[in-house]
Amino acid sequence: MHRTLIAALLMLCLPTANAAAPTMQPGLYDISMQFVLKGMPIQMPVTTFQQCITAQDVVNGMAYASSENKDCKISNLNQSGNKVSYDFNCAAQQGGPRMVGRASGISHATGYNVMMEGRFNPAVEGMSEFSQKLNATRLGNCSK
């Protein structure tokens, strides 16, 4: 009797698969990106683009990358409930600096809001730190 009760209580304490599973739906997303170089008085304009996000992109974290740069590596991905966080390391494009840092935010079935904080390695014209705000909204299914 006591063993059954203890086993039942332990089962209640274990996280369910649904609590840890990503909830974001695959599909075509409209993504807006605001990039801020720290120390720069003028803000860059918001950039908007559309991206087809697959179920695999959600699982491996590439759904939250700021572009379709295939040279971005996502590590330490944590998707718990509606919260998401990860480290990023993006290779330079056309000989530019690497972008490395940490991102965190909220993800839901039809979008996400993520803030990336990072640095350029090496610094760009004396500026090394940046932040990038990403907002994504699902538009529908991807065209084939």
Lowest mean pLDDT among 64-73, 74-83, 86-95: 64-73
pTM of the model as a whole: 0.76
Nearest to 58 by CA among 22, 30, 32: 22
Lowest mean pLDDT among 21-25, 82-86, 134-138: 21-25
- Please say if the pLDDT value at position 14 is more than 60: no
- Please say if the pLDDT value at position 8 is more than 60: no
Full domain range(s) for residue 97: 20-140
- Please say if the pLDDT value at position 11 is more than 90: no
Is 13 a member of any domain?
no
Q: For the chain, what is the domain count?
A: 1
Is 53 a member of any domain?
yes
Is 31 a member of any domain?
yes
Is 65 a member of any domain?
yes
Is 62 a member of any domain?
yes
Is 10 a member of any domain?
no
Is 78 a member of any domain?
yes
- For residues 105 and 16, the model is more confident at 105
Is 7 a member of any domain?
no
Nearest to 132 by CA among 93, 95, 90, 94: 90
- Please say if the pLDDT value at position 79 is more than 70: yes
Measure the CA–CA gap between 141 and 143, rounded to whole angstroms: 6
